[in-house]
């Protein structure tokens, strides 16, 4: 064993190895696949192999590009409507998560120190049990002969079942439910570090607690708000499973369109074009987020 170790440490450049291994791994599995998606989004339906894209006929390689999928995407109102509706649902989900999660994280950060690790673990615990099963559970609660309707009817609050399932309501319940921990965790991390002396100083100077909250706590937790919102908004835009199980046929989400183009219509160029546009939509908020984070890091340094 020791011989192998000494051989390895003498004959292999550690630095090159440590950098090279993950580099190869991610180039193969992350970078090249995304380039292939870009390429196939620019091809025709029958012609989706990589080699046929470069045309060597003229002696120089020339690229053969076909924008028909994008043209279709830009002119068919259904696609545009679906993108807009995905953004709308993701935005509403983010706002509701912020509305529920901010006070929660605030109170959690103020609760007794010895309780906080347990409160935190209780937030994380559902995350460890299957996401799919938890979404399915909402289905059993929300359908018209489901548990919530049965209970409300048994108590006598309603006579006929409320139509909750397969509506924007059930979709949003599922989305908020799944993404709420992603909002709470960064907010809690941020709010638990808040220096309480600022609030004491404000109180000494005669500021009401309500005003102090808006003037001090909220601005100081801006980084947490932005991080939480991004962690909710970005995956929510492309969500597939929740709208498929809870949203019913009428709630339009772009993840489902991509899935159907691929699995039902077998239209790979179209599915790829849908994916490329979705990536562009996600990159914009991410760029803003990254810029904000690096500014923060600079401000600290």
Partner 1 sequence: MKNPFGKIWMIAVYVFLYLPIVTLVIYSFNASPLVTIWSHASFRWYTALANDSDLISAVGLSLRIAFFSALISVFFGTFTAFALNRYKRFKGRTLLSSMSSTPLVMPDVIVGLSLLLMLVSVQHWLGFPERGLFTILLGHALLGTAYAAVVVTSRLREMDGRLDEAAMDLGCKPLQVFRLVTLPLLVPALVSAFLLTFTLSFDDVVLSSFLSGPGYSTLPMVIFSRARLGLNPTINAVAAVTILVVSMAVIASSIYQSRAERKRKLEVAQAYSDANH
10-49 binders of partner 1 (CB under 8 A): 14-15, 18-19, 21-23, 25-27, 29-34, 36-37, 40, 48-49
Identified binder of partner 1 from the candidate list 45, 87, 95, 141, rule CB under 8 A: 141
Closest distance between partner 1 and the C-beta of residue 164, in Å? 13
Does residue number 240 form part of the binding site for partner 1 (CB under 8 A)?
Answer: yes
The CA-to-CA distance between both ends of the chain, in Å, stands at 45
Identified binder of partner 1 from the candidate list 47, 50, 64, 294, rule CB under 8 A: 50
Identified binder of partner 1 from the candidate list 125, 158, 196, 288, rule CB under 8 A: 125
What angle do the packed helices 268-300 and 77-110 form, to 10 degrees? Answer: 30
Does residue number 248 form part of the binding site for partner 1 (CB under 8 A)?
Answer: no
Does residue number 266 form part of the binding site for partner 1 (CB under 8 A)?
Answer: no
Identified binder of partner 1 from the candidate list 91, 146, 198, 207, rule CB under 8 A: 146
Does residue number 108 form part of the binding site for partner 1 (CB under 8 A)?
Answer: yes
Closest distance between partner 1 and the C-beta of residue 11, in Å? 11
Does residue number 94 form part of the binding site for partner 1 (CB under 8 A)?
Answer: no
Q: How many beta carbons lie within 10 A of that of residue 119, not counting itself?
A: 15
**For residues 60 and 160, which CB has a smaller minimum distance to partner 1 in the complex?**
160
Identified binder of partner 1 from the candidate list 100, 120, 153, 162, rule CB under 8 A: 100
**For residues 4 and 157, which CB has a smaller minimum distance to partner 1 in the complex?**
4
Stretch binding partner 1 (CB under 8 A), from 64-72, 196-204, 215-223, 258-266: 258-266
167-196 binders of partner 1 (CB under 8 A): 177, 180-181
Does residue number 218 form part of the binding site for partner 1 (CB under 8 A)?
Answer: no
Q: 264-274: buried (b, 16+ CB within 10 Å) or exposed (e) per residue?
A: eeebbbbbbbb
* 246-249 LR contacts (CB < 8 Å, sep 24+): 246/135, 246/138, 246/139, 246/142, 246/165, 246/166, 246/170, 246/171, 246/173, 246/174, 247/166, 247/168, 247/170, 247/171, 247/174, 248/165, 248/166, 248/167, 248/170, 248/171, 249/166
């Amino acid at each position: 064993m020791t011989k192998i170790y000494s051989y390895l440490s003498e004959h292999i450049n550690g630095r090159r190895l440590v950098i090279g291994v993950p580099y190869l791994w991610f180039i193969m599995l992350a970078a090249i696949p995304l380039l292939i998606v870009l390429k196939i989004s620019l091809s025709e339906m029958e012609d989706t192999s990589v080699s046929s894209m470069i045309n060597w006929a003229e002696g120089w390689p020339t690229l053969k590009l076909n924008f028909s999928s994008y043209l279709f995407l830009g002119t068919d109102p259904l696609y545009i409507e679906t993108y807009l509706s995905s953004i709308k649902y993701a935005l509403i989900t983010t706002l509701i998560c912020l509305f529920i999660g901010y006070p929660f994280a605030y109170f959690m950060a103020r609760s007794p120190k010895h309780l906080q690790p347990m409160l935190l673990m209780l937030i994380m615990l559902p995350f460890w049990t299957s996401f799919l099963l938890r979404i399915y559970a909402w289905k059993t609660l929300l359908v018209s002969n489901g548990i919530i309707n049965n209970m409300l009817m048994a108590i006598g609050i309603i006579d006929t079942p409320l139509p909750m399932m397969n509506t924007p309501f059930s979709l949003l319940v599922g989305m908020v439910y799944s993404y709420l921990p992603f909002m709470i965790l960064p907010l809690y991390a941020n709010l638990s570090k808040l220096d309480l002396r600022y609030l004491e100083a404000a109180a000494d100077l005669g500021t009401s607690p309500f005003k102090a909250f808006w003037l001090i706590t909220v601005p100081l937790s801006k980084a947490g708000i932005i991080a939480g919102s991004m962690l909710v908004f970005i995956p929510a835009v492309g969500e597939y499973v929740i709208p498929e199980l809870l949203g019913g046929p009428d709630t339009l989400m772009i993840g489902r369109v991509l899935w159907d183009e691929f699995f039902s219509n077998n239209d790979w160029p179209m599915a790829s074009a849908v994916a490329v546009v979705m990536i562009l939509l996600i990159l914009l908020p991410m760029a803003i987020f990254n810029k904000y984070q690096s500014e923060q890091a600079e401000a600290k340094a």
